[in-house]
């Protein structure tokens, strides 16, 4: 499979790519491939044929590549598998919340980007986070940008009876 060009490759504006907080260690990847081999062999040589299906699905999961970028258009996520690709695009107009979470990491800050009832968390460098927040205010001035330590807007749901 040849890698397809990323949807944001032809943009001329700023492109901010998230960092991984904890990349997978090589022994974890080797262990996962050993599990795939075990499932495939178990599916072939035992009566549990479902293990064969799980082995194939697990191998496709290991081969999936996920690319994410925050661009002038919005949040863009591109998944590349051996059999298909999937492109998720969240334009700035549809993003309804951004929550900044500083986890006391020396270089990275977590950004929770919300759209409807879905939310995605990505880690960006501190300078990139500031630039992304400026870009968000420029492209969608009404989007609420909060800190993770802020109080919620409302009191929330309470299980106590309100006297009804």
What CATH number is associated with residue 140? 2.30.29
Confidence at residue 1, expressed as pLDDT on a 0 to 100 scale: 47
Is residue 45 in some structural domain?
yes
Q: Is residue 133 part of a domain?
A: yes
In a domain, 21, yes or no: no
Q: Is 48 exposed, middle or buried (0-12, 13-18, 19+ CB in 10 A)?
A: exposed
> How, if at all, do strands 85-91 and 97-101 pair?
unpaired
Domain interval for residue 95? 26-147
Tally of domains in the chain? 1
Q: One digit per residue, pLDDT tens: the chain, 164 residues?
A: 456 788 888 888 889 999 887 888 999 999 999 999 999 999 999 898 999 999 999 998 888 899 999 999 999 999 998 888 899 999 999 999 999 988 888 888 999 999 988 999 999 999 999 999 999 999 988 888 888 776 655 555 555 545 44
Task: Flag whether 163 is in a domain.
Answer: no
């Amino acid at each position: 499979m040849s890698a397809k060009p990323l949807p944001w490759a032809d943009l001329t504006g700023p492109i901010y790519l998230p960092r991984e907080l904890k990349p997978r260690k090589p022994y974890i990847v080797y262990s996962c491939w050993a599990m795939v081999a075990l499932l495939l062999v178990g599916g072939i040589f035992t009566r549990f044929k479902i293990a064969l299906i799980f082995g194939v699905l697990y191998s496709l999961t290991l081969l999936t590549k996920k690319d994410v970028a925050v661009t002038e258009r919005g949040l863009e996520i591109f998944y590349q598998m051996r059999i298909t690709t999937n492109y998720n695009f969240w334009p700035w107009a549809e993003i309804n919340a951004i929550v900044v979470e500083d986890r006391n990491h020396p270089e990275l800050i977590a950004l929770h980007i919300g759209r409807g009832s879905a939310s995605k968390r990505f880690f960006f460098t501190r300078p990139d986070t500031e630039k992304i927040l400026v870009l968000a205010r420029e492209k969608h001035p009404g989007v609420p940008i909060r800190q993770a330590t802020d109080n919620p807007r409302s009191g929330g749901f309470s299980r106590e009876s309100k006297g009804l």
